[in-house]
Structure 1
Amino acid sequence: MLFSSLALAAFLVGCGDSSTPTPTQNGSTTNEAGSSNGGETTSEKVETRLVTIGTGGASGPYNILGTTLADIYSTDFGINSRTQTTGASVENINLLEQGKIEIAFVMSDALSQALAGEVSFKEPIKNVSQIATLYPNVVQIIAKKDSGIETIEDLIGKRVAVGDQNSGVEVNARTLLAGHGITYDQLKVDYLGYAEAADGLNAGTIDAAFLTSGLPNASVLELSETLGITLVSIDPANVDDIAKEHPYFISYEVPAGTYGNDQPIKTAAVPNSLVVRTDMSENDVYLLTKKFYESQEKLVNSHQAANEIPALDAQSGFIAPVHPGAQKYFDEQK
């Protein structure tokens, strides 16, 4: 199974009681355990009127899938749901913690670090709960076809875009490079998002770029058709060694033909997670989770990366604690 190598925490389930409801930040009422109406009944109405979904770069799968999900929520629940284009994982987690968005797409490595208060997070993040494990984010290191860059070690001394600063792309780029004994001091680093990195490769201002996302990435696809690119490989043995310390990394192959490549390209991947604010009501998260799983066909139609979202019965080993509202939905499906 795709996620069997991940050493992740088990579901953490909140238990409701019948204490007096108190208002949450989004205006709905919950008891101290977060259960609407003591967890006894379920309303079909989403109480919060605004659901903002943190995504990532405009051309990436996060934004495409997030836009589709926001449209579904707006149409089916009659609420104002919208996406917010961000620097992706790290920024999204911080926005959740600050109560500025309700849902976010994030990479599992950044989520793990947020819960531990490591790397880009000065202290553990508390206001984040998980409702789904998503498709794998595939590390796609792209270079011009005639660049001579074929392996990650060939990046030394080159001008390399590593993603927006502190984004999930940049976090895993830094980790993978370090796992190969390569530091930023050995590169000429540019902090560029998907579209900017593609422009830089096209203009010749950078030599290579990390564009970590679901497959296919629109920016990479366009480059493969207009510029001619090489997908830089990462040795699976090296990925396995890195995973001993960072267990969210898995080996992955970019299938032949994805970007006109004749052969599969070995690389690394990190699963994505769909997360919500912990302080959202159980009933709201129950309904949002239910609608997410019932909308898989529409999500796949918007971006094929959704094909690799694990089925409901394979949702295990979450990185963050499961939100009680999502757990309620999972329990109903047993």
Structure 2
Amino acid sequence: MKKFSLLLVLFLTLGLFLAACGEDDGGESGGDGWVENVTLLTGGEAGTYFPLGVAMADVVSSNVDGVSVDGISSGASVVNINEVSAGEAEMALVQNDTAFYAQEGTKMFEEVKDGYSGIFTIYPETIQIVTTVDSGIETVDDLVGKRVAVGDVGSGTEANAEQILGVHDITFDDISAEHMGFGDASTNLQDGNIDAAFVTSGTPTASIQELSATTDISLVSISDDMIQALMDEYPYYAKEEISADAYESFDSTATTVAVQAMLIARDDLPEDQVYEMVKAIFENKGDIEEAHERGKQLTVDTAQDGMSIDLHPGAEKYLNEQ
């Protein structure tokens, strides 16, 4: 009887210990190490990141058991990288150039930001220099002395604006630089409070579409020699054409440059979880395409084009299998 009682106590103790070990940490991760509640940072609601990111979040939530993803509006690339690097979010949409700067600790990053890897690249993010027909601005040099929106402070757009102006020997001191996002820039262009705006986003961009419906807009081209100078100094840029039918009141083509939009994830997301999430996104790509036209450019064949950082092992496994 004493031996039986002792065994019973031992079994009960072991059971309580295993139960305690099996408890999760407030619902953040499952028993197999998967992160159950995932935050995917996107961008401003007027841009392209937001609808694409929300669609990706919904696809994963609906097709991967035990994982719920929230697509959250944010300040885009720089903010997103800081949050993911700090462990405040698991995934984010960012520019490939900004992801590179962060891991090098250069440009807008005073120190190295790490702890994240690439998942896939999606589409070219076109740097659009938007103005109105009435402004009389036709070239980049015409921006001197003008009120120009250059993106939020510390944003990828701000870096793009600084670099494009730089190859033209123009600095922010030569213009009246206004720091604001796409939505505010569109409103201020319409109201006449600014003369032009740099917008780094997939075309068509919702805020510019809305502006072009009520205002005659123009897109400023960058000359071929300046594009070459830009690519020589910053190899993550590529030449890009904006078609004449991109916006309602815009009826000519524009020549500019683009970087790549990409998805990143924390390094410590389990490989098998990332594999299943990436698989769900590509196998339900129709839902991504319905969210925004740029979703059509997400393909397995181009998913590593412009990848400026190391791939997450889970993404690499899936893409290599395909």
Task: State TM-score, norm by structure 2.
Answer: 0.87
The 2-side partners of 1:308 and 1:74 are apart by 22
Determine the structure 1 residue equivalent to 2:318.
329
Deviations along 1:108-131, whole A, 9 cap, x unmatched?
A: 111111111101112222211001
Pair 1:145-2:133 in alignment: yes
Spell out the pairing of 1:8-19 with structure 2 (5 A cutoff): none
Change (3 A) 1:53 1:298: same
Determine the structure 1 residue equivalent to 2:290.
301
Determine the structure 2 residue equivalent to 1:62.
49
Determine the structure 2 residue equivalent to 1:319.
308
Of 29, 47, 56, the residue aligned with 1:27 is: 29
The 1-side partners of 2:123 and 2:279 are apart by 18
Structure number with the bigger relative contact order (C-alpha 8 A, sep ≥ 6) is 1
Most deviating of 293-302 and 134-143: 293-302
Q: In the alignment, residue 246 of structure 1 is paired with which amino acid?
A: Y
Whether the 8 Å CA contact 2:54–2:72 is kept in 1: the answer is no
Spell out the pairing of 1:28-177 with structure 2 (5 A cutoff): 47-77=34-64, 79-177=67-165
The 1-side partners of 2:238 and 2:99 are apart by 16
Change (3 A) 1:29 1:174: farther
The 2-side partners of 1:227 and 1:292 are apart by 37
Residue 323 of structure 1 and its aligned partner are, at CA, apart by 0.5
Deviations along 1:115-167, whole A, 9 cap, x unmatched?
A: 11101112222211001011000111111111111111111100111111111
Task: State TM-score, norm by structure 1.
Answer: 0.84
Deviations along 1:69-106, whole A, 9 cap, x unmatched?
A: 11112222353321222111111111110111111111
The 1-side partners of 2:108 and 2:284 are apart by 33
The SS at the match of 2:200 is coil
Residue 232 of structure 1 and its aligned partner are, at CA, apart by 1.1
Residue 237 of structure 1 and its aligned partner are, at CA, apart by 2.2
The 2-side partners of 1:29 and 1:177 are apart by 52
The 1-side partners of 2:278 and 2:247 are apart by 33
The SS at the match of 1:206 is coil
The 1-side partners of 2:274 and 2:36 are apart by 13
Residue 28 of structure 1 and its aligned partner are, at CA, apart by 5.6
The 2-side partners of 1:298 and 1:236 are apart by 37
Pair 1:280-2:264 in alignment: no
Determine the structure 2 residue equivalent to 1:291.
280
Most deviating of 244-253 and 324-333: 324-333
Higher helix share: 2
Determine the structure 2 residue equivalent to 1:211.
199
Deviations along 1:206-233, whole A, 9 cap, x unmatched?
A: 1111111001001101111101111111
Give aligned-pair identity as a percent. Answer: 39
Change (3 A) 1:308 1:330: closer
Q: In the alignment, residue 264 of structure 1 is paired with which amino acid?
A: T
- Corresponding residue pairs, total: 295
Most deviating of 93-102 and 252-261: 252-261
Q: In the alignment, residue 314 of structure 1 is paired with which amino acid?
A: T
Deviations along 1:178-234, whole A, 9 cap, x unmatched?
A: 121110001111111111111111111111111110010011011111011111111
The SS at the match of 1:146 is helix
Greater than 4 Å deviation, 4+ residue runs: 23-26
Whether the 8 Å CA contact 1:159–1:207 is kept in 2: the answer is yes
Most deviating of 73-82 and 269-278: 73-82
The 2-side partners of 1:52 and 1:240 are apart by 38
Structure 1: where are the runs of 5+ without partners? 1-22, 31-35, 37-46
Residue 308 of structure 1 and its aligned partner are, at CA, apart by 2.3
